[in-house]
Every structure is written in structure tokens, then in C-alpha cells.
Amino acid sequence: MTNPSPTDAQRIEKATQTRFGEATPAPADVAGADELRRMVEHSSHRKWTGQPIEPALLRLLFACALSAPSKSDLQQADIIHVADRAKIKAIADTIPDMQWINNAPVFLVFCGNNRRIRQIGEWRGKPFVNEHLDHFMNAAVDAGIVLATFIHAAEAAGLGTVPISAVRNHPRVTSDILGLPDAVFPVAGLCVGYPLERGYVTARLPLDVTVHTDRFNEDGLREKIDAYDQRRHALFPLRKQRHAQLYPDAPFNGWSEDKARHYSVPERADFGAFIREKKFSLK
């Protein structure tokens, strides 16, 4: 087992300090310190160089992503490479505040696919009797795991990415553009390219808020979120207050104020109806 280089160890400590407000040093004998460092330094990118992504590399990244764990080996995740720039523009036009979608060298849409399992049942003469919420979740979670694995593989290859959950803002439009049949639904898009700028580590909630031992624990939660708001504001203050037309300016515009405003306005309220139209009962 090889020791992490001082550079990797130092960068892990620095990144976790910035990310969580508490340094989490790498153990001296940890393997794969370069991969761990890349993960804690993860950042999203919205600007890219003009360098194209080689088709062979993209194909390898698909293979890496689809090597991810799959619930009961059901393999209910698909990736659509949207290569037609007109289709990309049509999707981007439904998300006018994210025009970086148009500029990405590669745009992908990760989908949950429960259709294949239903088809296989018909071909093999077996009934499909799992028509309930869990089988929708299985497909959605599979797609999410594949998305995360693709991001990790892409970053290892020197690429930058940014997920686009907003492909679900107008799911019927996205579905029609991509020709998604019944029981196949979009989970998220992903912009991919060689990053133009170095990213930055975004501060996250401290680990003692989001990691629990034995039982869920909210002790001191409000105070911890208040402290997180201050720490994050000191690093990257929010530029504007969300939904300013609805609320007066808050004296302090921290993360929690922004997210409270965010979810005070309906978002994707028709997605459940769309999923039911896709032949999921969600019962």
C-alpha cells in the first residue's frame, strides 16, 4: 500500500476544511489518495474550451458509468447522447437561464428505464406485478448512480461537468424531443467538456449535520445551519436575493434564506402527472 503524496494529503485536508468547515485528513496508509482528493475537490463547470471530446473517450466514459451498481442487476438506467445541436437548443430553450447547455461540447440526458423489464416479462411469458412507487424509485436511483459515476469518470479524464435537473422543468417537451417511450423518463441532463476555468470547492453542510450514527439526530440543527450560513457567506456570498418580487430584502442572505425562498415557489408540480402518463402508478 503506497502512502499518499504530501500534495494529495495536503489538498484533501484543505478541500475538506473549505467544504465542511472541518479538515478531514487522509490516513497515512490510505490507497487511492489521488482519487479521494479529486472527489473532495469536485466542482461544477459551465464554461469550456473549444477542445472536442474524442468519441472513443466518450464511449469509455459511458462504459465506466454503466459499470456502476444496479438494483438487483435490473439495469434500469439509460444515457442519451444528444448530438443533434437543434435538439440541444430545443431543450435549452425550455431553460432560458442555463444557456451554457447550448455551449457544452457534449450534452447527455440520464434516464430511468423501467420499460425493458416490462418487455422482458412479456417476452418470457411472466406477469409484471410490481406496479408501485418502489419500482419507479429503483429506476430513478439507478439513473442517479450512473450519473454520479459518469461525473467521477469524466473528472478523472480531465473533463468538467454540470448536472441539469431542469430537464424535468418541462418533462413532456424533453420526452418528446428525445422520443422517450412509456416507462422511460428523464432524471437529469449533464453538460460535459474540457473546463475553461479552474473550479472552486463549494461549502457544504458540516458532516455532523448530514452523517448520523445509529439514529437520526437533529440536536442543535438550527444553530449549526446558522453557523454554516455565516461560513459559506464568508467564502462565496450570494449575489442576489431569490424571488425579490415576492419578498423584501433580508438583512442577511445566507444559504438557508435562499433555499427557504427557493422552495416557497412551486417547482415541477406537474412531474408526478407526467410520470403517471408514462405508465407508472406511483401507488
Considering 156, 177, 199, which residue would you say is the last residue of a domain? 199
Closest to 282 (Cα-Cα) out of 111, 98, 160, 138: 138
Residues 114 and 230 in one domain: no
The reply to whether 191 and 209 lie within a common domain is no
**In the listed set 199, 229, 250, which residue is the last one of a domain according to the structure?**
199
**Are residues 85 and 161 located together in one domain of the fold?**
yes
How many helices (H) does the chain have, and how many strands (E)? 12, 4
Query: Is 120 part of a structural domain of the chain?
Result: yes
Q: What's the domain range around 159?
A: 55-199
Same domain, 195 and 255: no
Clarify whether residues 124 and 166 are in a common domain: yes
Query: Distances from the Cα of 36 to the Cαs of 11, 14, 24, 25, 200, in angstroms?
Result: 10, 13, 11, 11, 16
Cα Rg for the chain, rounded, in angstroms? 21
User: Which residues partner with 164 through β-bridges?
Assistant: 189
- Residue 8 in domain: no
C-alpha cell at position 243: 424571488
Closest CA to 204 of 259, 268, 122: 259
Query: pLDDT digit of tens for each residue in the chain (283 aa)?
Result: 556 666 899 999 999 999 999 999 999 889 999 999 999 999 999 999 989 999 999 999 999 999 999 999 999 999 999 999 999 999 999 999 998 999 999 999 999 999 999 999 999 999 999 989 999 999 999 999 999 999 999 999 999 999 999 999 999 999 999 999 999 999 999 999 999 998 899 999 999 999 999 999 999 999 999 999 999 999 999 989 999 999 999 999 999 999 999 999 999 999 999 999 999 999 9
Residue 158 sits in a domain whose CATH number is: 3.40.109.10
Sequence-ordered list of residues with C-beta below 8 angstroms from that of 204, at least 6 positions apart, any chain: 19, 20, 210
Q: Give the count of domains, the chain.
A: 2
In a domain, 171, yes or no: yes
**14 occurs within a structural domain:** no
Are 174 and 226 members of one domain?
no
